[in-house]
Structure 1
Amino acid sequence: MKDEELSGRLREAAEAHRPDRARMLARIERGMAGGDPVPRSVRPPRAVRPWLRVAGTTAAVCGVLAAGAFAVTSAGDGDRARGGQVASAPSPAAKSPAARDGLRPEDGPLWTGGVVDPHSNAYWAQSNVTLRTTEPLSALTVELRVALTGGVNSTGSWRSLPEPDFTVSVNESGGFLVYRWTLRAGRTVPAGTHTFAGQYNHAEGDRDATGDYVIAHAVRAAGGKASVGDHFGQGG
């Protein structure tokens, strides 16, 4: 038989062949009955690929099995990818236990206390920091930290000491709205009682200020350092 005639018959046989998809799948299921069942989430292809018609029944079965294996592998990869997208846990700095635990309101000549101003309302609040020193200070940094509960954003700040004596900054850091007053070089804080205040909007309602706190670090003009801090709460 000539090569041309053989090729022609093979081509005619391939074109005439119509694989019985239902029967192939039944064979696959019977062959796999003794092993692990096919996962329910994996469905067989809706139509046999065109090249399977040329390859014949055996190649078609192998192709379906390969497609099923690929589907299982792909599904597993997708599950791993989705499983890796874990929501980030809230920043521990928002609670800041290390920063707040052990705060002491008095250290040597320095004392501080924090309270929410009684004139605060359901939309706006002012946090008052009182700083008392029995000695002049050659350096001072006061830091008021307001927890970023709903809708908190700064509306301003002030201090009872002269404005030119301090640099002031307000920013968000570690889950807090941070007000920082720093005494300029060459300036002095006199002995006495002084006030620092931060003002901010917040979500409607009574705001819980128990997560707020103040810390202050100072250098005494006579020498030596002092650090104090206090927790906030509703007050008058």
Structure 2
Amino acid sequence: MSGPRRDVDEELRARLRAAAGEHRPDRARILARVERGMAAGNRGPARARLPGRLRVAGATAAVAGILVAGGYTVASAVRDDAPARPPVAAPPGPRESESREPGSRESGPVWSSGAVDPHSNEFWAQSNVTLGTSTPLSALTVELRVAQTGSVTSTGAWRSLPEDDFAFTLDERDGFLVYRWTLRQGRTVPAGEWMFAGQYNHRRGGRDAGGDRYSAAATTASGPLTVRGGFTPGG
């Protein structure tokens, strides 16, 4: 085929494709018409009546076939009819994290752990507080409390952050040696893991650190928070 007739046929096919692409069948009206037609056909004496649920299923299948012919898929028809699920809001994180199990990591920007240093011996020990942060801290106070279990006397303290960034105090009150490090105003603790350690002599023999405690109060860009916990035995 060639010439003007071929041009006319191609133009007609192009218009039909455009019309089919713009067509949006009314699914609800088609479903109702198909179901009415099936119900009317089932009234004859020679045909068994189908249960209502099966009739609806058959009508839905028929409509699905029509929609496929019109450029739709069954999957898209079902997906569009499904009710939209409301977004699920995540619960706000706690402003205080507590190390109920020594050595555990809490959720949130700041975490901590406490442990007796494995190099401790029967006369001397070191208690390590490890503090981690995923964000810079503009304020920080770390307090280590070593219970007075007998002849406990301080032999020193240190921290892995710069010494000049912190004010340090040592006190004895309420049956504890209290080591305290306070970040000086205008200084910042960068993101990372940092250690604060208190050293002390004690009565000869193994010392029970079950009564020792630590806490840390920090300030992040999102606000203040605290962590606290106890100590695991030395290795």
Match of 1:226 in 2: 225
Matched-pair contact (CA < 8 Å) for 1:117–1:127: yes
How far 1:139 moved relative to its partner?
Answer: 0.1
Letter in structure 1 aligned against 2:230: H
SS at match of 1:207: coil
Matched-pair contact (CA < 8 Å) for 1:143–1:214: yes
Match of 1:191 in 2: 191
Match of 1:211 in 2: 211
CA distance in 2, matches of 1:216, 1:116: 17
How far 1:232 moved relative to its partner?
Answer: 1.0
How far 1:210 moved relative to its partner?
Answer: 0.7
CA deviations 1:161-199 (Å, max 9, x no partner) are: 000000001111111100000000000000000000000
CA deviations 1:142-175 (Å, max 9, x no partner) are: 0000001100010000000000000001111111
Letter in structure 1 aligned against 2:122: A
How far 1:223 moved relative to its partner?
Answer: 2.9
Match of 2:126 in 1: 126
SS at match of 1:135: coil
Letter in structure 2 aligned against 1:169: T
Is 1:137 the counterpart of 2:123 in the alignment?
no
SS at match of 2:158: strand
Matched-pair contact (CA < 8 Å) for 2:119–2:234: no
How many residues are matched?
134
CA distance in 1, matches of 2:234, 2:153: 21
Match of 1:173 in 2: 173
CA distance in 1, matches of 2:107, 2:182: 19
Matched-pair contact (CA < 8 Å) for 1:166–1:181: yes
> CA RMSD for the aligned pairs?
1.3
How far 1:103 moved relative to its partner?
Answer: 5.0
Which residues of structure 2 form unaligned runs of 5+? 1-97
CA distance in 2, matches of 1:134, 1:207: 34
Matched-pair contact (CA < 8 Å) for 1:107–1:227: no
When the two structures are superposed, what TM-score results if normalisation uses the length of structure 1? 0.55
When the two structures are superposed, what TM-score results if normalisation uses the length of structure 2? 0.55
Matched-pair contact (CA < 8 Å) for 2:125–2:202: yes
Match of 1:95 in 2: none
How far 1:208 moved relative to its partner?
Answer: 0.3
User: Moved runs in structure 1, 4+ residues, more than 2 A?
Assistant: 102-108
Change (3 A) 1:148 1:168: same
SS at match of 2:194: strand
